[in-house]
Structure 1
Amino acid sequence: MSVVRSAAANPDCTPGFRQQQNEVTSYIDGSNVYGSTIDELNSLRNGAYMKTSLGNNLPSNQDKGCIFNHAGEFCHHAGDTRVNVLPSLTSYHTLFLNEHNRIVNALKAVNPGWTVEKLFQEARKINIAQMQHIVYNGYLKSFLNKDVMATYNLSSRRIGYSTSYDNTRDATISNDFGIAYRMGHTWIPAYIDLYSDLNTRQTGPEMGPFDLVQTYNNPHLIFLNGRTGSQGIQKWLTSDPCPSTDRVIEDSARNRLFEDSTGASFDLAALNINRGRDHGVPPYGDYRINCGLSPLNASWSSLVDQNPTSANLLSQVYEVLCEFDPTISYFSALCGFDPTSS
């Protein structure tokens, strides 16, 4: 498996440790919808509205990395280049694009004198605010407990506005967070489905569930049922339980990631480990000390947050405990990530 190092960056233009570039912004600012540069934004908007294709879907993009098995299908253009990796990702982008355009219509109805730019920017602001509300009041609470939410003042106010923003703080995503946040890879299911209603699978000539491997960079599901595939996927995502945060990554992502016609593929778990080493993150034992937890010693029994089965498997892979990759620990830790965890 060929792995290329992340592009290097030097934020303050002085000699020091190698850092990595981030193609997207570090804020919850809707960059997946609006892009991370002015040029991207201008290519995605049409006056006050976001550009769409037939059926209120995302506009087309001449992405040569997509797979087309049916005439008339195309890859999609959005603010994040990963939009075409999976149809479920495409459906998320489509949802917020259509929400922007819905807000524009609502604002135009009550403010007929507003300029095109005013309509666009106000709709964008509201759309981003809704996205932030979902993150802070829904998503984070699904794996952080009340104490953590309160300690770091993460919940939105019921009345008024938050004044905690500090423009002197560097909000750049850290490598430490980037490694830990790969926990989301354990949430990837082995399939994608389309529902006609909540908890009701769509019927028709092509019925799910669809093997995830067959949907990588393939927009076909979006074009099903008169180009309403995004809606069917969104209803399925709303209905289907999310996989647990654990040490298991589905075979479709671990051994068959982006599998081609020759059977060649990538391994997401291996990529995660390699990316941590590429970016120079320290071993898991260092993080325990930095977080005020008990230090590790030479014995594998000091892995107090791992069950015996996990510890035994890890001891067969790592010669010494001090080389233990943090990515693996975060996936296999006993505490897990849920509203009752710490």
Structure 2
Amino acid sequence: MVEQRSPRSGRRPAASASRPEAAFLRAYRQAYQRLAVTVDHRIGWDRLPTPLGLAVLKGLRDLLRRENLFDTTDYPAVDLPPIEPRRARDTIERSADGTHNDLGSPRMGMADSRFGRNVPPERTFPEPEPQLLAPSPREVSRALLTRREFVPAESVNSLVAAWLQFMIRDWFTHGPGTMADPWRIELVDDDPWPTRPMLVPRTIPDPTRQPGDGLPPSYLNQSTHWWDASQLYGDSLEAQRRLRTGDGGRLREPENGAMFFDDPEQDPANTAGFWLGLAMMHRLFVLEHNAVCGRLQDEFPKWTDEQLFQRARLVIAALLAKIHTVEWTPAVVSHPTTVAALRANWYGVLGERVHRLFGRISGSEVLSGIVGGRTDHFGVPYALTEEFTAVYRMHPLIRDDWSFRSAGDDTVLQEATFRELAGPRAYELLAKHSLTDLFYSFGTAHPGLVTLHNYPRFMQEFERPDGKLVDLGAVDILRIRELGVPRYNEFRRLLHLSPAKDFESLAQDPDLARELSLVYQGDIERVDLMVGMFAERRPEGFAFSDTAFRIFILMASRRLNSDRFLTRDFTPQVYTQAGLDWIEDNTMSSVLLRHFPDLRPAMASVANAFAPWQTTGPGA
């Protein structure tokens, strides 16, 4: 079991060291962390040679682990739902609802448990009205987010947008909100919005809290917090059963365009945020799950449906975590230092070749990576955080206009707008075009750069499944404020970054600086977190901001460190050797080519499936 420590501190005593030695080590680590911050402020980690940049990033991560993990589960709680007692199988299988991942704390990370925080809880009280609504989220959206012309992120393809939404469906959701007492956003005279005022649901308060306890607000994550592929398998046993065939461990495969849900309330197309890219990723990994089942059945012909399903789920969840760690994230933050750092999270700085030849040769996560090492919560019960949720609001990745083309010769099959890709309309495209052609079309198209004036115009007038219009740009701004995530400058201070001195230093472009100053009435401290992140200078190769990256430095590794199925139980005894080999030997490219081999000509020249593919046809 992981050592239990103060929920307010990431500091960890050196268990085997004498007190003087432990004090010396703590002093050394803290001095190293302070030096990393100083170098980062004066030079910037991204301007250093890769070895020095890696050393600075390690110091920053250690500091964030020590000072930017805060527990919310220690707030008083009432009416906690009962959980099933631990079964013997829970030691080798992921539960459907995320319970018993930590065997000593069975509720940790389960569905419907609280989000944690990366900033001190006393700094997370939301502003009172009317300050919380100032400046108007709608006016921020109109003035600063509206896409004037599409700005592409040329180093990646549009699979990065589909993948991100696919991951988010695994990680977190606050739920649909409540209209019992909605937010009321007043509109200016020239605003064309069809209803006045604009009404936005409030996030549902934490039902396990005692009203008036005086502590900062908290909210529940309806998904499990673990990296357990719940977007494929569901967050409850009931949901899981609906998705399975009951034969050979396999999942049900959609046919004829539509999904396989008989009950419309269970169809993901009727939930907000569903679109074609999400459906494509879901189908791809249903096929991959069933391929893993076939491999395991060959290896273990006497295994039951349940045994095959549970092992395949472990394999798929780990494969998704690997793809995100060593392929997706290095593609969207493709600076040489961050590519090396992210691969080191999985393989260690000794690299993949040493890992393949010798496995883990050290208990150090620096040398041999996090995966397969010891489980560590760094003194704070594991949970995804509100700040992690806030920095993952990256809707500019989505294109407004799409061209679907043949993977065989690049001929145009259909032009479409994003509105035709969203909600149940996605099924029409799935029925009309092959998945080979759809993946080819995504792989050869750039997503948008995560920057100001690049927010998808259709998302500013997005039609929900219930027919109501939503300006998702305004909602993004409002949600971050509502959930008590600090505004941009304060957020940076709390993450050990220098705040923006003025609008000119933030935006660099004089015209944009004037726009920002006008919207925020000359007060740099009022700039919203998302707006500041979209405006700031990006390191070389980054599709999004360095401020957002600070949360990734901390949380990308934490999701691995805390999960025993990716650390101490990442073993042949739990996964089977065949399962571990599947994870080791596969990439996003091999997954795509296994199920859609006709993509090979387009993918032949790319080392990373999220990099732009080569077009086919006579002019290629």
Q: Fold conserved (TM > 0.5)?
A: yes
Q: Structure 1 pair 19/214, CA: closer, same or farther in 2 (3 Å)?
A: same
Gaps of 5+ in 2: 1-197, 360-370, 547-620
Which of 441, 463, 475 aligns to 1:271? It is 475
Where 2:240 maps in the other structure, the secondary structure is helix
Q: CA deviation at 1:240?
A: 1.6
RMSD: 3.2
Mapped partners of 2:409, 2:526: distance in 1: 45
Mapped partners of 1:55, 1:325: distance in 2: 44
Q: Structure 1 pair 233/153, CA: closer, same or farther in 2 (3 Å)?
A: closer
Mapped partners of 1:149, 1:169: distance in 2: 28
Mapped partners of 1:304, 1:181: distance in 2: 20
1:240 partner amino acid: A
* 1:123 aligns to 2:312 (yes or no): yes
1:318 partner amino acid: Y
Q: CA deviation at 1:43?
A: 1.6
**Structure 1 equivalent of residue 449 of structure 2:** 244
Q: CA deviation at 1:10?
A: 6.5
Which of 313, 317, 328 aligns to 2:519? It is 317
CA contact (8 A) 2:330 2:342 kept: no
Where 1:131 maps in the other structure, the secondary structure is helix
Q: CA deviation at 1:307?
A: 2.9
Mapped partners of 1:56, 1:107: distance in 2: 29
Q: CA deviation at 1:57?
A: 7.0
Deviation string for 1:124-152 (max 9, x for gaps)? 11111221111001111123345446667
Give the share of equivalent positions with the same residue, in percent.
21
Mapped partners of 1:258, 1:198: distance in 2: 34
Which region of structure 1 is more displaced relative to structure 2, 332-341 or 104-113?
332-341
* 1:7 aligns to 2:210 (yes or no): no
Which of 307, 317, 328 aligns to 2:531? It is 328
Deviation string for 1:306-342 (max 9, x for gaps)? 4322221111111222211111111121226835985
Greater relative CO (CA pairs within 8 A, separation 6+): 2
- Of structures 1 and 2, the larger Rg is shown by 2
TM-score of the two chains, using structure 1 as the length reference: 0.81
Mapped partners of 1:37, 1:338: distance in 2: 39
1:252 partner amino acid: F
Mapped partners of 1:38, 1:61: distance in 2: 18
Mapped partners of 2:466, 2:223: distance in 1: 31
TM-score of the two chains, using structure 2 as the length reference: 0.47
CA contact (8 A) 1:86 1:216 kept: yes
1:1-342 superposed matches below 5 A? 1-9=198-206, 16-47=215-246, 48-54=249-255, 58-63=259-264, 76=267, 81=271, 85-144=274-333, 145-148=335-338, 155-157=345-347, 158=352, 159=355, 160=359, 161-166=371-376, 169-182=380-393, 184-197=394-407, 200-201=410-411, 207-217=413-423, 218=425, 219-225=427-433, 228=434, 230-247=435-452, 248-254=454-460, 256-258=461-463, 265-296=469-500, 299-301=502-504, 303-304=505-506, 306-319=508-521, 320-335=523-538, 338-339=541-542
Q: Structure 1 pair 260/12, CA: closer, same or farther in 2 (3 Å)?
A: closer
Deviation string for 1:141-176 (max 9, x for gaps)? 123345446667763222234315325643322121
Which region of structure 1 is more displaced relative to structure 2, 231-240 or 27-36?
231-240
CA contact (8 A) 2:271 2:465 kept: no
Q: CA deviation at 1:274?
A: 0.7
Mapped partners of 1:337, 1:34: distance in 2: 37
Q: CA deviation at 1:96?
A: 0.7
Aligned residues: 318
Gaps of 5+ in 1: 65-74
